Amino acid sequence: MPKYDIVVVGAGNAGLSAALQCQLAGRKTLLIEKHNVPGGAATSFVRGRFEIEPSLHELCDFGPADNPGDVRNILDAYGVKLDWYECKDCFRIVSRYSDGSPMDVTMPAGIEAFIDKMEVYVPGSREKMEQLFALFQEVLDGISYITASKGHADSKVLQADYPNMLRTGAYSTKKVFDALKLPKKCQDILSTYWSYLGVDMEHLAFIHYAAMVHKYISRSAYIPAHTSHQLSTAMTERFRELGGDVWFGCRAEEFLFRGDRLCGVRTNLGVIDCDYVLANINPDIIYGKMMPKELIPEREKKLSAARGRIMGGRMFTAYFCLDASPEQLGIQDYSIFLSSTADSAEEYRRIMGGTKTNDYSIFLCYNIANPDFSPKGTCVCSFTTFGAPDEWGRLSQEDYFKFKTDFAKKFLRNLKAKTGIDLTGHIEEMEIASPWTFARFLGVPEGSVYGYETRDWDGMMARMMMLGTDYPIKGLRPVGAAGPRGDGYSATIICGQLMAANALKDLKEWEGGNK
Ligand SMILES: Cc1cc2nc3c(=O)[nH]c(=O)nc-3n(C[C@H](O)[C@H](O)[C@H](O)COP(=O)(O)OP(=O)(O)OC[C@H]3O[C@@H](n4cnc5c(N)ncnc54)[C@H](O)[C@@H]3O)c2cc1C
């Protein structure tokens, strides 16, 4: 077998991004993927005459050509080209405010438009909203500085230039909102995005919230014209064009070491020699199953889910392919967040209580953003929520089909009750993906597609500042949703690039004799 400088294991967003970065830097890079298609969660599947998007609702930080976000810049630098659609509004939420009054709110993209609309729903909120957006901007600038410093940020620069980011960095989003004295109704509306990060506002690290929400609002959200499969195939093809090798159907089973330094990967297709591995795999699996225990430092063991971190969102999604157009069905919004209450901590408790108490879902109609998403006169919709780990862990194989189908039916009833939209009688194809599906397809523990919860004590700032200390195993770094940037398309694409840059730096140092 040929020897590679770098093997990237797993062709999810992070793995693809890492592979492109390594190959562009001139390193002989091999990308291996256990499936016969790239993308991980960024893929598609076909039922009847429909192609279904399994994960992507909307990608933030891409932006229009005249206001590009980091992801557009990264894809441009890689030379990855594809067609995109903008998802115009930010969201509609149908719920109840924390004081129990009914809530049906639609928020537009664009900072000014967002603040203006908030003023309509919550008169007198403008000044506080402007302060919040100024804070968001400082956080984003601070993150850019920390990212550029590759784990060696100067604390004096941080204190001088980004004092409010430091002040808010270890706090939950709720605490920062309260400190800013944001009106309660504003907080309720602003908490809509909590589920994109999978942590309720009382525990969600403010820095993650700020980074993601500012990007969605300031640059709008985008989706590829032909599902996220188009994104992953475009990245794979570009990697090949640059001279990279891709092996599908190749599963990494064990990482091999000479002394304390990685020297290869054992796979189902044989042993591959290499100097470095970037693994698009949850660290709990890497450390728990794929390498010698004696090489794992105590600190890494403490950071594992078994000892400290909390596994993030375990997804449940029901996909419906309908024989009627959105207009015929009365669907006008791209995404509608449906919940019992805008109090995210209460909502999270209900989700963790299991399918009986969980009324939370994000309803999506892809054809609103992309009218050509499915054959004329049809549309594709989905409902996404989270599973409670205990419940799905206890479920027997015999009960599985009925259990997941009953849960999916509950979403249809909720949608009808809350919006009047009735999909029953129009379902031509349907599919349900449970935490079991995601665990099996992606190999993520408990179906947790989001990696570890980005809680206040384990947020982006802590993770980014510790980049030089975390992942101390020589020649092996995990990449992906469990990494410093957390979950999501843009976060994992950025994470892949960031971790690849660190790997390239390590290799250069070792080659210079500084081992
Ligand atoms: C229903 C749903 C909705 C979502 N909505 C959004 C959204 O709207 N916006 C957004 O930004 N994000 C969204 N996400 C989150 C986003 O999809 C994920 O955070 C992101 O795709 C994770 O990427 P990743 O690189 O961590 O890896 P993954 O997608 O988990 O890919 C890992 C890859 O590694 C491969 N692999 C694993 N082990 C091995 C091995 N041993 N050998 C070889 N290959 C291996 C897997 O097969 C897989 O291809 C959603 C996710 C889901 C499930």
The residue type of 70 is D
Pairing state of beta strands 89-96 and 335-338?
Answer: parallel
What is residue 117's predicted lDDT score, i.e. its pLDDT?
98
Atom of ligand 1 nearest to the CA of 35: 47
What is residue 468's predicted lDDT score, i.e. its pLDDT?
73
For 320, residues 6+ apart whose C-beta sits below 8 A from its C-beta are 380, 381, 382, 383, 412, 423, 427, 429, 430
The two most distant CA atoms of the chain are separated, in Å, by 69
Q: Which residue's CA is the closest to the ligand 1 atom numbered 27?
A: 12
The residue type of 86 is E
Distances (CA, A) of 237 to 31, 229, 476: 12, 12, 25
pLDDT surpassing 70 at residue 455: yes
What is residue 465's predicted lDDT score, i.e. its pLDDT?
76
What is residue 146's predicted lDDT score, i.e. its pLDDT?
85
pLDDT digits (tens, 9 = 90+) for 90-99: 999 999 999 9
CB distance 41 to ligand 1 below 6 Å:
yes
**Spatial CA neighbour of 218 closest among 61, 59, 85:** 61
CA distance 62 to 488: 13
CB distance 175 to ligand 1 below 6 Å:
no
Nearest-5° Cα angle at 355, 46 to 413 = 65
**Spatial CA neighbour of 47 closest among 442, 432, 436:** 432
Q: Which long-range contacts (CB under 8 A, 24 or more apart) does 390-397 make?
A: 390/354, 391/354, 391/355, 392/314, 392/434, 392/435, 392/436, 392/446, 392/447, 393/446, 395/436
Please tell me the distance between residue 12's alpha carbon and the centre of ligand 1 in angstroms.
5
What is residue 401's predicted lDDT score, i.e. its pLDDT?
96
What is residue 512's predicted lDDT score, i.e. its pLDDT?
86
Helices (H), 341-396: 344-352, 366-369, 389-394
pLDDT digits (tens, 9 = 90+) for 467-504: 777 778 999 999 999 998 899 999 999 999 999 999 99
SS3 state at 96: strand
CB distance 444 to ligand 1 below 6 Å:
yes
Distances (CA, A) of 378 to 65, 327, 365: 31, 10, 11
CA distance 220 to 232: 21
Averaged pLDDT, 436-459:
90
Q: Which of 236, 362, 492 to mutate to test the pocket of ligand 1 (most atoms within 8 A of CB)?
A: 492
Pairing state of beta strands 252-258 and 245-248?
Answer: unpaired
pLDDT surpassing 90 at residue 367: yes
For 451, residues 6+ apart whose C-beta sits below 8 A from its C-beta are 282, 312, 480, 481, 482, 483, 486, 487
Averaged pLDDT, 219-246:
97
Atom of ligand 1 nearest to the CA of 438: 53
pLDDT surpassing 90 at residue 106: yes
CA distance 473 to 470: 9
**Spatial CA neighbour of 386 closest among 440, 343, 350, 429:** 350
pLDDT digits (tens, 9 = 90+) for 276-323: 999 999 999 999 999 999 999 887 787 777 668 889 889 999 999 999
Please tell me the distance between residue 281's alpha carbon and the centre of ligand 1 in angstroms.
10
Give just the sign of the alpha carbon dihedral 119, 122, 127, 133: negative
- Per the CB < 8 A criterion, the answer to whether 342 and 97 are in contact is yes
SS3 state at 121: helix
What is residue 257's predicted lDDT score, i.e. its pLDDT?
98
Please tell me the distance between residue 368's alpha carbon and the centre of ligand 1 in angstroms.
24
CA 143 to centroid of chain Cα atoms: 18
Architecture of domain 4-47+61-83+225-310+454-511 in this structure:
3-Layer(bba) Sandwich (3.50)
What is residue 471's predicted lDDT score, i.e. its pLDDT?
78
3-state secondary structure 438-479: HHHHHCCHHHECCCECCEHHHCHHHHHHCCCCCCCCECEEEC
- Give ranges for CATH 3.50.50.60 in the chain: 4-47+61-83+225-310+454-511
Computed over every residue of the chain, the mean pLDDT equals: 94
pLDDT digits (tens, 9 = 90+) for 176-223: 999 999 999 999 999 999 999 999 999 999 998 999 999 999 999 999
Q: Which of 7, 8, 13 to mutate to test the pocket of ligand 1 (most atoms within 8 A of CB)?
A: 13
Averaged pLDDT, 31-44:
98
Give the pLDDT band of residue 16 (cuts 50, 70, 90).
Answer: very high
Distances (CA, A) of 140 to 129, 166, 187, 228, 459: 17, 12, 20, 26, 14
CB distance 56 to ligand 1 below 6 Å:
yes
CA distance 211 to 189: 17
Atom of ligand 1 nearest to the CA of 482: 26
pLDDT digits (tens, 9 = 90+) for 326-359: 999 999 999 999 999 999 999 999 999 999 999 9
What is residue 494's predicted lDDT score, i.e. its pLDDT?
95
Bridge partners of 474, per DSSP, are: 261
Give the pLDDT band of residue 514 (cuts 50, 70, 90).
Answer: low
CA distance 324 to 10: 38
Distances (CA, A) of 490 to 15, 249, 272, 312, 373: 13, 26, 30, 17, 22
Averaged pLDDT, 142-167:
86
